[in-house]
Amino acid sequence: MTDATADTTAPADTRTASLYRMNMPGHLCPFGLKSRWLLKRSGYEVDDHLLTNREEVDAFMEREGVKTTPQTYIGGERVGGYEELRERLGHSVTKEGETSYTPVIAIFAVSALVALAIAWASLGTVFAIRTVEWFAATAMTLLAVQKLQDVESFSTMFLNYDLLARRWVPYGYLYPFGEALAGILMIAGALIWLAAPVALFIGTVGAVSVFKAVYVDKRELKCACVGGNSNVPLGFVSLTENLVMIAMGAWMLLK
């Protein structure tokens, strides 16, 4: 560990990295710790410079002409902050506003595992129609949770394309509660006379709205399916969510 005033322009072994990060009594920079871990995992010897007070941080940023820390230097060349370091070391970086399907993949993967766990615990097997039902209902519930974290943001994004919400704004606020209610009741197998029509209704309205916006009007929008701050594009995923609700509602009623 060295002092915070070391010369960052000095030539160095390319397998040695100099890292400048905040380590103050009231703040231990998490991106600094992640940068150090990433460098070590990539085989670098880390010359770790701790900025232990506000004066050291300000002096470092002024001297180097940067606005943030941590900052990493490899071979005397400034790489930048944590995101730039990830990119330099060949790791994927999701930039602000960039399309990402990660939230959807996570929700459906966890839903599948939860359904398998419920089936195993209650039926002693995972090979059952009920497993598929639990998967769909759990996915509905988790998608609703994403929306319920910030109903205001969700309803705003939802208004960009949902036909009913555009005619009656409160529907945008009610939608995630309806989705959660239908999903939870279907997991329990209770009050299907209520859950199935709710799923059918919101699924049908949603499917028609998405189809019109994407495939008829050819609009490029963000999907509110995983909440109002989503970078998931409106299209196949949104349509699939609504078709699953339609299928679940119809299937439950037929049962």
Segment-wise mean pLDDT, segments of 10 residues, the chain, 255 residues: 48 76 91 94 93 93 93 92 90 62 87 96 92 94 92 90 93 95 94 94 94 88 73 77 90 86
Q: What is the pLDDT of residue 222?
A: 76
Q: What is the pLDDT of residue 228?
A: 60
CATH 3.60.15.10 given to domain 16-88: no
Three-state DSSP at 34 gives helix
Alpha-carbon gap, residue 157 to 172, rounded angstroms = 9
Q: The whole model's pTM is what? A: 0.76
Q: What is the pLDDT of residue 52?
A: 93
Q: What is the pLDDT of residue 219?
A: 84
Q: Quick one: residue 204, left, alpha or beta (phi over 0 = left, psi -120 to 50 = alpha)?
A: alpha
Residues whose CB falls within 8 Å of the CB of residue 84, separated by 6 or more in sequence, listed in order: 72
Q: What is the pLDDT of residue 136?
A: 93
User: Is 158 within 8 Å of 165 (Cβ atoms)?
Assistant: yes
Residue 236 phi, psi (nearest 5): -60, -45
